[in-house]
Amino acid sequence: MKSLLLFFALLASLVSAAPAFAGPSVDQSDPQALIKTATQQVLDEVRTQAIAPDDIPRIRSIVNRDILPYVDFRRTTQLSMGRHWRTATPEQQEQIMTQFQSLLIHLYSGALAQIKPDQQIEYLPMRTSPQDTDAVVRTMAQTNSNPMEIDYRLYKTPQGWRLYDLNVLGAWLIQTYRQQFNEKIQEGGIDGLIQFLTARNQELTSGKS
């Protein structure tokens, strides 16, 4: 199960407040090809040298080089906030994105260290048309146990497709965090959510569960 978290983390580690631009060698006009490239780059890195969970500099390097160009973290955060995004000030929005990114980097670091060099990914058939603006790329992660389906959701931008949501074991990332964020905002407002994320990051940094 822990090895499957890599694919959850591919979205979870969206570490920029705005989308970046990928290199010209990546086919960003096709959503499945883009996911294949991003996944393969990470797997190749793991096969080259094992990654320790506490090797944050290397993890950030992998994120910045192999993942960041293909994702839109602002969109992910905005959709996770739902209607509350519009009521947050620009400063609060920035704080939430900063703390959210830190939280997900912690998740990513543990997941990345669990990936095995022989991890295999099967990409399920899909069809897209030039008119499509949203797409889901479905994959099967081959592990020692039963295969698990991992779904990636992307949307089309003028620069190409961008990843913004992920489904693992029937749970979409945005839907999961929207429920949690809403509960914290109901309890203590936008600042209450920021305080919760900040405290959680401090716990993870200090090694607490």
pLDDT digits (tens, 9 = 90+) for 10-42: 444 443 333 444 444 566 788 999 888 888 877
User: Hey, where are the domains in the chain?
Assistant: 2-175
Q: What is the pLDDT of residue 25?
A: 57
The pLDDT confidence band at residue 195, using thresholds 50, 70 and 90, is very high
Expressed in angstroms, the distance from the first to the final Cα of the chain is 18
The whole-number pLDDT of residue 18 equals 37
- For residues 55 and 194, give the distance between their C-alpha atoms in angstroms, rounded to a whole number: 26
Stated pTM of the model: 0.79
Q: Is 198 exposed, middle or buried (0-12, 13-18, 19+ CB in 10 A)?
A: middle
Q: What is the mean pLDDT of residues 129-136?
A: 92
Give the pLDDT of residue 22. Answer: 44
2-175 CATH fold:
Nuclear Transport Factor 2; Chain: A, (3.10.450)
Residue 16, both tokens: 């920029």
Of 66, 73, 58, residue with least CA distance to 11: 73
What does pLDDT average to over the chain?
Answer: 79
Helix (H) or strand (E) holding 177: helix 173-205
